[in-house]
Structure 1
Amino acid sequence: MDEPIFKEVLGRTEHPIKKQYTWWTEPVESGLQLAITLRYLAKGDSYESLSYAFRAVQNTISFIMSETCEAIIVEYVEEVIDCPKTPDGWKKVAKGFAER
């Protein structure tokens, strides 16, 4: 993914994934959360591999994945995902899968 697209996705998803700083922990910045999630989605790296690559513990990566994916879905659902509204629409989708 090139930088302008990354920045556009980050700009649209940053607010829901941004964490507050607390006195006992420093949050993982939004850009890093998005980078970890995109690496996982693109390459299918294991949480262990991502943990070494991004210096984050596996349970944090697990939390980042679900939260960031949810933010991406909420932000892009109307633009990207065209969900059929009728039974005939769903039959057309099923036929497309069957043909593949």
Structure 2
Amino acid sequence: MSYKYRDYQAMRMQYQFGTDLHYYVDLQDRDHALEVLKEAVERTVDEDMRTDDVFAALEYLKGPCQRYGALLAFRDALSIEHPMRRETALKARLSEIKIELRRRL
């Protein structure tokens, strides 16, 4: 079962009234998306990581990121043939994505 981003209804029960539900759900979703990308980087040498989960994480991160360059470059790097070059490119793009997300906090 894949992760459902922006699932405010499911999270409503976990947070008490008066809290900013959308803020916490967005933080949780962002952390999950980054974890999916990090796992893709770690597993890319041995596996094809062009999966629905990775593409869903990239699609979700288009919301919090103002610039899509690093996201598009990450997606493109998934198609690099040589495993070590692919891993190096993905690591660099993941760092750029994290920097972009930090600007938005």
- TM-score (ref. length: structure 1): 0.29
Q: Which has the higher helix share?
A: 1
